[in-house]
Amino acid sequence: MTAVTDSDTEPSGIRTEVRDAIGAVEIGNPARHNALSVEMMVDLTVALRELDDNPDVRVIILRGAGREAFVSGADIREFPGRADHGIRQAADAAANALFTQLSVISVPIIARIHGYCLGAGMALALGADFRYADTRSVLSIPAARLGVGYPLDLTAALVQTVGPSAAGDLLYTGRRIGAEAARAMGLVDRVVEPGDLGKVVDELATTIAANAPLAVRAAKASITAVRRLSEGDRATSRAARLNAAEAITLCGTSQDLQEGTRAFLEKRPPRFKGC
């Protein structure tokens, strides 16, 4: 496991770190503003799955390496090869697997956005539960400028987040917007100065990690169920509701519930174990 870093000279790749119940995933390709290659998409999918399967992880921070970008999109150098059917299928499969994995993560995800957040970077951020950005962030979905048909599932996530008009603005024009404009349309949750971003994100992650992990997972499952209901897909909605109900029931028989009650009565911080 390699620690996350602010260096602009680290080699490309996906790095992970687990510390104090917080899992961090760093996307590293600083020379290309952290553009995602197909190989990196595959590795990122594996990293997210492994962190979600790790019982010690209660929250995940998703960030880009270096100082210039969160993720500047898919690696456009690979686009010419997508004219080949086999290469295009492999690229599409890698992207679909990544965003599917992101949608089923059971713990909260915080996107820590700095610098460029474009295309696939926006899709990653929209898959997070929270999007915190610094004042220098630049966000865009330039699919129309590249001749790319933006995927339906990703468009749905965008519409759910900002509404159809703002989604149309971003998709039809492909224009870039600053952090404050993104916050105003609901695309990001909070904007802070660059020097404060790490501290603010870490504080949120620490607060979440200190709570009962089963209860937090149940809350996320319930929020997911409500979102699925709004999408109108009965089968998907029913599965999400069953998952949420199971997670809520598990909380009711957990040792964490007993610990939380005792800690409240004894006026002390609880010591949750996730069981």
- Residue 229 confidence (pLDDT): 76
| Strand-pair partners of 74 | 36
pLDDT at 1 over 50: no
- Give the mean pLDDT of 85-94: 76
| 21 Rama class: left (phi>0) / alpha (psi -120 to 50) / beta | left
**pLDDT, the chain, mean:** 89
Q: Where are the beta strands (DSSP E) in the chain?
A: 13-19, 22-28, 59-64, 69-71, 109-113, 116-118, 130-134, 138-140, 177-178, 190-192
pLDDT reported for residue 40? 93
For the domain covering 13-208, report its CATH number.
Answer: 3.90.226.10
Give yes or no for residue 2 having a pLDDT over 50: no
Instruction: Enter the pTM of the model.
Output: 0.90
Examine the pLDDT at 87 and tell me if it is beyond 90: no
Q: Is the pLDDT of residue 8 over 80?
A: no
At residue 259 the predicted structure's pLDDT band, cuts being 50, 70 and 90, is confident
Mean pLDDT over residues 69-94, rounded?
A: 74
- Structure token digits, residue 252: 């009711």
pLDDT the model gives residue 47: 97
- SS3 (DSSP) at 140: strand
Q: pLDDT over 90 for what percent of the chain? A: 64
| Overall residue count recorded for the chain in this entry | 275
The share of the chain scoring above pLDDT 70, in percent, equals 90
Among 12, 120, 108, 97, CA closest to 46 = 97
- Distance from C-alpha of 3 to C-alpha of 185, rounded to nearest angstrom: 34
* pLDDT tens-place string over residues 102-158: 999 999 999 999 999 999 999 999 999 999 999 999 999 999 998 888 989 899 999
Check if the beta carbon of residue 12 is closer than 8 Å to that of residue 29.
yes
CA distance 213 to 186: 27
Between 187 and 246, the more confident residue is: 187
| Nearest to 133, CA basis, from 68, 60, 191, 73 | 191
Measured in degrees and rounded to the nearest 5, phi and psi for residue 195 equal -70, -15
- Beta pairing, strands 116-118 & 69-71: parallel
Cα separation, 158 vs 46, whole angstroms: 24
Question: DSSP of 14-45, one letter per residue?
Answer: EEEEEETTEEEEEEE-GGGTTPBPHHHHHHHH
**pLDDT above 60 for 64:** yes
Q: CB-based burial of residue 83 (10 Å sphere; 0-12 exposed, 13-18 middle, 19+ buried)?
A: exposed
Domain assignments of the chain as residue spans, ordered by start: 13-208, 212-266
pLDDT at 83: 55
Residue type, position 36, single letter: L
Instruction: State the Cα–Cα distance between residues 129 and 185, nearest whole angstrom.
Output: 16
